Amino acid sequence: MIDHGLAKIEVRSADGNHTLEDVYILVVLSKGKEIMGKLSIEIQTRKSIADGKGAEKFYNELTTPPDKFWETELRDLVIKKKQPCKIFVQPDTIIVNN
């Protein structure tokens, strides 16, 4: 999304604690379908022709962070702000002996 201009990440403080992710709604609405369509076609093509090496290369390019900021400071910030999973418990009523 960032490579295609659909989103950006902006650091608002020197210590990196105030980081803002912006997703441009108008750009997503105008170009998002085309960009995601190209991604889907690329993935489907790799699957259809069983191109294991090409798929691995494509995956690595797609998931590699663009610079060291992502791997160090931003990742540490995300992990620091991580919250535990919210668990929903639903009661179950059972009638015993009529």
Q: Report residue 9 as tokens.
A: 């990440």
* Burial (Cβ within 10 Å: 0-12, 13-18, ≥19) of residue 42: middle
Q: Give me the mean pLDDT over the 68-82 stretch.
A: 74
pLDDT attached to residue 85? 87
Helix (H) or strand (E) holding 27: helix 25-48
Which residues are CB-contacts of 12 (< 8 A; sequence separation ≥ 6)?
18, 19, 20
Which residues are CB-contacts of 85 (< 8 A; sequence separation ≥ 6)?
none
pLDDT attached to residue 71? 66
- Tens of pLDDT, residue by residue over 7-56, are 777 766 666 566 666 676 777 777 777 878 888 888 888 888 887 888 88
58 vs 19, residue with greater confidence: 58
Which sequence spans correspond to the domains of the chain? Answer: 7-80
pLDDT attached to residue 53? 85
pLDDT attached to residue 56? 84
